[in-house]
Structure 1
Amino acid sequence: MSSSSSISRNVVAALALVTQATARLALDSSSNVAVYWGQNSINQASGPNAQQRLVDYCANTNIDVIPLAFLYEMTTGTGGEPVINFANQASDCQIFAGTNLLDCPTIGADITTCQQQYGKTILLSIGGATYTEGGFTSSAQAISMADHLWELFGPVAGGTPTTTSTSSKSSSSTTTTTSSTSSTSSTTSALSTPTSTSSPFTSSSGFISSTSRSGKTTSEPSTSTSLSTLLLTRTVPVTTFSTRLTTLFFTATLTSIPSSIFASPTTTTTPSPLLNDTLTLPSYVNSTFTNATISNTTITNSTINNSIITNSTINNSVFINSTITNSIFINSTIINPQILDSTLAKRQSAVLRPFGSAAIDGFDLDIEAVATNMVPFAQRLRELMDADTSKQRYLTAAPQCVYPDVANSALLSSTVHLDAIFVQFYNNPCGVQAFVPGAATQEAFNFAAWDTWAKTVSANPAIKVLLGVPGGPSAAGLGYVDASTLAGIISYCKGFSSFGGVMMWDASQALANGGFLADVKSALVGSATKMMIRGMSWR
């Protein structure tokens, strides 16, 4: 015979399977479970209890929300980029050249699976106990960083590429080659790893430099054979446009590395030549392409060596390479942005996306020391997320239970609309360990104070307050209680309309702690579980 606890867990699992498609941060619910992932606080390098891939926790039906911990540097990161850390799960990540910013395509793929297959809400948590920058020097700096983080972790502007590119901040060019013979031509698209220079064009030496994620640089002559051998990573369809230049035929395949596959590319105000050879084109030969020019080109003895096509825009495309051979064809090989290979989705404007095309569902502010200008920072994040109508996005905070929380007092008393707060009821005298069972008025355990804040101070009077607890005995220095004790505390908290569920630190601890997670979910769903148990007993 099964125990009532195991029956409850089974019922909770059944309920979760029924509602899995809609599992998320539910702002009208008191049964949310948010579990932080990323720091492997159980501190095991390997084995079943060590922190696993993100998607493994998303598959757990007792979890609704996963904040990724942490982004812990914003203003002091190398190369002006923020810094994220995911402990043992960073082993599959690379580092963008010239920065300390991780490039994590596996985590990006997991985020998408978590959202689309399991219906989870994925937040990026900023701060943590090791955050020491102290905020921002000005509101302008705070707003600028909010904009930048939205570019890095929000939805891809203008489109949704499917994979992560591996460029460095200053390296986002595409190299292409063309081979022509006699009156026919063949075109090969060789997509390089990003070059180490800021120019998207072939260097004057005729060599192409490529930089890998490890920063290693190699050089090869810019010939069709060597480039195809060295750089060919994808072959994609091309679109060809032709126009007659009096006696010559101009055949162009258009390409750019725009900020997204649907956006116009970035162009310079001063066109940059592709090659150094400067020749003279007869005045009677004119291009019929709007905004396209061929200049400084000479036709001599029917042998045309190198042509320059300026960095001009045609139909949201940019010419980046051109070769004229011993024929009547001028061939320019580039990729149409509408069919741009997804691995080239990194922006020409040097936006480095750690999770590729994956976009988080919002931000969590886990600021545990005094930080300046967090209000304009949070307000800007709120504005950016609200402007995106594609889906609901969330802004949360994770204050200590001591009220008022000094580190977050400005934010929590501001006009910034927060959706939920994950109050840390541990490592403090106001934590869950101070709860007195059966006492209508709690002297030390102060969930009531946070309920009052939610209703009278918060800019969002409907905000949800989640009860933050350690997920296991070693997850915190103070505040762990077993699931049975926690069930009584949850029952007490349900008496407050602001109660939104339970937050746990962290995933590695909670999953290693037997049935703790399932028992907590069972205590949260409460009446629904009892109804199903009654229904089962009638059969």
Structure 2
Amino acid sequence: MSTNASLSLSYWGQNSYGATHTDTANFQKNLSYYCQDETIDAIPLAFLNVFFSTGNLPSLDLSNICNVVDDAVFSGTNLPDCSFMAADIQACQAAGKIVTLSLGGATGGAGFSSADEATSFGDTIWNLFLGGSNDTRPFGDAVLDGIDLDIEGGSTQYFDSFVNRIRSLASSASKQYYVTGAPQCPYPDAYMSTVLNAVAFDAVYVQFYNNYCGLPNFNDSNSWDFSSWDDWAKNTAVNKDVKIYIGAPASSTAANSGYVDASTLANIALETRSQYSSFGGVMLWDASQAYVNGRFDEAVKNAIRESDSIISSSAFATSASKVSGTTRVASAKFTTAATVDSCADIPAWVANVAYNSAQNVIHNGHLFTAKTLTAGSTPGSASSDWTDNGVCASYNAPIPTQTSAAQSALSPARSPTR
């Protein structure tokens, strides 16, 4: 897993705005609406809220988009048929977004009675939503990119058996699958610490809201505990490269407490990034709240971009820095050149990889340098976060690899009370 941090991960599915407002015009839109947004890089679909129901199959609640009350269910089950969403999911993935399924939620019926039951449930999720096959696939032929655990109640046992089964099934797959989690900020999390310490996670989206350790207490060392999560990532986590995200409400109505404005959140993210190498990015709850609140996700990204530009121009305007054998020069240093003599060993750009400010990539035969921390912004596009340094006379780019879901996203917060 790369150490680059991503900017935007946004939960979708619970219509958090609709839970606190009555103006239906601003209720949660279809998934594809948000995938037109370059700021959002990964989207967990929330939630699979019932693990075992009629027919021994789970149930989904995607609020005003797809649920067991308003939509058809598969015969003999309480599993809604959301296959109309397949095109939306595939469009998001085609745009470079990572789309995963979040299990649990604040009101989810989560838990297992044995390791065998948890393992069997892994088979069920694989066949219904991931790389397997079943006659009752809720999202039709769309194949999601992994799972997210948001366990806030029920049993805490045997989740390791569930995740290990997903990992085992994914090990021989032709695509990358991701495992993430969303614990609450008090460390250790009461419900998720058991599984977090037992199996490898790609990213953890810590909910720094609705608790004493929320974002408004960032300057209180007795309350703000990102350092505890950083210590967990480096010394306890199975995957020592796991990334820790700052989970934040996307609006004052998205959570009971913990909201801070976009500028404050950006400053917290920047300071945390400078202190802790485990920092992965920002998670927001949720997309519906972010869009109505002045495009909160975009405001946070722009604030980070502005700060990075100031740092970039002052720190790198006159010199280049050598990082991992690759020269990285700030955007302020470069002007567009006709030809670059050599681009040897510069990696090719990959849509779902997050890049640090001043990092170099190759795209369409050109050498580009990131102007700021960026993920999902195509080099050379009109809204590009990249400086075009010219055509490479020669290059031998390494084969690019995908990052984890953790690295490609900011996420909006969950239900208003989550």
Return the TM-score normalized by structure 2: 0.70
How much does 1:523 deviate?
4.0
Query: Of 279, 287, 298, which residue of structure 2 is paired with 1:507?
Result: 287
Distance 2:82 2:109 in 1: 24
Query: Of 229, 245, 263, which residue of structure 2 is paired with 1:450?
Result: 229
Mark the runs of 5 or more structure 1 residues left unpaired by the alignment.
1-25, 158-346
Query: Of 297, 301, 323, which residue of structure 2 is paired with 1:521?
Result: 301
The 5 Å alignment of 1:271-420 reads 347=134, 351-369=135-153, 370-388=155-173, 390-414=174-198, 416-420=199-203
2:222 matched to 1:460? Answer: no
Distance 1:422 1:535 in 2: 33
How much does 1:418 deviate?
0.5
Distance 2:128 2:306 in 1: 40
User: Relative to structure 1, is the Cα distance of residues 524 and 454 closer, same or farther in structure 2, using a 3 angstrom cutoff?
Assistant: farther
Deviations 1:67-114 (Å, cap 9, x if unpaired)? 000001112x11111000100111784211211101112211111110
Distance 1:455 1:150 in 2: 30
Tell me the SS of whatever aligns to 1:504: strand
Deviations 1:16-68 (Å, cap 9, x if unpaired)? xxxxxxxxxx8532123111000001115664421000011111110011000
Query: Of 46, 60, 66, which residue of structure 2 is paired with 1:84?
Result: 60
Tell me the SS of whatever aligns to 1:428: coil
Deviations 1:279-302 (Å, cap 9, x if unpaired)? xxxxxxxxxxxxxxxxxxxxxxxx
Structure ranking higher on relative contact order (CA contacts 8 Å, 6+ apart) = 2
Match of 1:101 in 2: 79
The 5 Å alignment of 1:175-324 reads none
- Letter aligned with residue 80 of structure 2: L
Match of 2:114 in 1: 138
2:94 matched to 1:120? Answer: no
Does the CA-based 8 Å contact 2:126-2:132 persist in structure 1? Answer: no
Mark the runs of 5 or more structure 2 residues left unpaired by the alignment.
314-329, 337-418
How much does 1:129 deviate?
0.4
Does the CA-based 8 Å contact 2:15-2:28 persist in structure 1? Answer: yes
2:129 matched to 1:150? Answer: no
Tell me the SS of whatever aligns to 2:44: strand
Match of 2:10 in 1: 35
- Letter aligned with residue 290 of structure 2: A
Tell me the SS of whatever aligns to 2:26: coil
Tell me the SS of whatever aligns to 1:42: helix
Match of 1:250 in 2: none
- Letter aligned with residue 9 of structure 2: A
Tell me the SS of whatever aligns to 1:387: coil
Distance 1:503 1:128 in 2: 15
Distance 1:468 1:359 in 2: 26
Does the CA-based 8 Å contact 2:156-2:194 persist in structure 1? Answer: no
Tell me the SS of whatever aligns to 1:422: strand
Paired residues in the alignment total 313
Query: Of 435, 439, 442, which residue of structure 1 is paired with 2:218?
Result: 435
- Letter aligned with residue 35 of structure 2: C
Distance 1:498 1:398 in 2: 15
Distance 1:27 1:67 in 2: 20
Return the TM-score normalized by structure 1: 0.55
How much does 1:522 deviate?
2.7
- Letter aligned with residue 485 of structure 1: T
User: Relative to structure 1, is the Cα distance of residues 32 and 488 closer, same or farther in structure 2, using a 3 angstrom cutoff?
Assistant: closer
Match of 1:59 in 2: 36
Distance 1:496 1:61 in 2: 26
Does the CA-based 8 Å contact 1:428-1:478 persist in structure 2? Answer: yes
Does the CA-based 8 Å contact 1:126-1:363 persist in structure 2? Answer: yes
- Letter aligned with residue 287 of structure 2: A
Does the CA-based 8 Å contact 1:45-1:88 persist in structure 2? Answer: no
Does the CA-based 8 Å contact 1:501-1:524 persist in structure 2? Answer: no
Distance 1:465 1:521 in 2: 18
Deviations 1:323-342 (Å, cap 9, x if unpaired)? xxxxxxxxxxxxxxxxxxxx
Tell me the SS of whatever aligns to 2:280: strand
How much does 1:363 deviate?
0.0
Distance 2:302 2:281 in 1: 11
Deviations 1:192-249 (Å, cap 9, x if unpaired)? xxxxxxxxxxxxxxxxxxxxxxxxxxxxxxxxxxxxxxxxxxxxxxxxxxxxxxxxxx
Higher mean alpha-carbon deviation, 514-523 vs 494-503, is at: 514-523
Match of 1:74 in 2: 51
RMSD: 2.4
Distance 2:139 2:2 in 1: 26
Whose radius of gyration is greater, 1 or 2?
1
Deviations 1:308-362 (Å, cap 9, x if unpaired)? xxxxxxxxxxxxxxxxxxxxxxxxxxxxxxxxxxxxxxx5xxx310011101000
Deviations 1:337-396 (Å, cap 9, x if unpaired)? xxxxxxxxxx5xxx31001110100000000124321111111112222221x2211000
Distance 2:118 2:126 in 1: 12
- Letter aligned with residue 59 of structure 1: Q
How much does 1:139 deviate?
0.4
Match of 2:207 in 1: 424
User: Relative to structure 1, is the Cα distance of residues 529 and 486 closer, same or farther in structure 2, using a 3 angstrom cutoff?
Assistant: same
Distance 2:13 2:107 in 1: 14
Distance 1:384 1:429 in 2: 39
